[in-house]
Chains A and B, each alone.
Chain A
Amino acid sequence: MAEVRPLIRDELLPPEPPPRRHLISIADLTRDDVERLLALARTFAKSLEREVKKLPALRGRTVVNLFYESSTRTSSSFELAAKRLSADVMSIKATGSSVDKGESLKDTALTIGCYDPDVVVIRHPEIGAPNLVAQLTGAHVVNAGDGKHQHPTQALLDLYTIEDELGGIAGLHVAIVGDVLHSRVARSNVQALLLMGAKVTLVGPPPLIPRGIEAMGCEVSYDIDTIRGADVVYVLRMQKERMLAGANYVPSLREYTARWGVTPERIRPGQKVMHPGPMNRGVEIDGCVADMADALIERQVRSGLVVRMAVLYDLLTHGPVEVKVAEIEEVA
């Protein structure tokens, strides 16, 4: 049977979309893009060692943080990243805003669009919210987490952390352990790690590993002992707030922890342990593992700041990274 051409929605867009980039999914990036962003983040890390940490790079630019879900790490690091680059920052949380009065995402986006922001950073519980904001405003949109879909800056900061610690990413074996089904962090990290040449194995109880995910190019194991072979063990949070009530993904947290919890006995010396936070100590990760020297969890948070500075800077200044680095040195 001949093939019927699948519908390609891209063809429906106007022939020449305006030159504007968003970071909604890791799939938006090439390997070169990632390398450029990581290099830029390293430059910013150096600049943050100075006594005066503020750079004038984005002076006069406006960044709006629009958060429909609770967040500590992501919202604070985006805010600080924008401030470190001298941008004007406006942070809007769904609670206490017109969202409480039933305003739709469309109207909130149009309202914010009236201030001509350069960047809108959005976190939203529903997949596709950043795409909608991208259609409705003239701003660059950065996805700070949309439902179970994507959290691209988390994956970038994880790449940065791994590269910083282990000197590279290609050829490494990363085991991602836990509630993959509900994890946008897992989806972004699988794409990002594969893009950079790592091997990825997803480990967890069968109901929490989405059916068909091998098609992304990763491997799947239901056996926690698989993590021993990995260079990096990336632990995911059990996301109880995203689970359907009564769905019985696992019979109990006790059994989950007994079977799939990352405990000192299950890892070997020298293995690096990561977690995107917030952690449930004693559930998916043993407190001793979280606090051990090979845990990179706080390093991840620190990386978040420079990586988000790099993302904001890169979106607002097109062009080869070398030139931009020179500019930074100059203004600093």
Chain B
Amino acid sequence: MQLLLTAEEKQAFETLPTTLKDGWNISDETSTAYETPETLAIRYEMSSLKRHPQTKKILETVKQGKFEQAIMDGIPEDMLSDLFFTIGATGLSTIIKKLAAESQTDDDLAGLSSLTTIRHQLLLANASIHS
């Protein structure tokens, strides 16, 4: 299993228990094609998340001042793609860094691996448009 981490994230990962880290291959994430604030603002405006029925449920819950893990259930696959694109490699990096430092289970690391792969594909996409 592979993790694509930046130098800073690798430092955070190294603080995890050795038994948890065993078996993971760490590769360097060296791309720097992160989104600008303007790009993220555009992505929010063009996001199709606002049209999803599940988004409306979440909005209604949040409007009531509630925070419930359960409101995130039932999110369809196509909404996930749009979610990750909307927050971009920049937003994903904040999540990855946090998770790299606080993972407690193999499932956490499997999720971290997926997140780093998704970020890498976002960075490649960002770079391809501006190359």
Genuine A/B complex? no
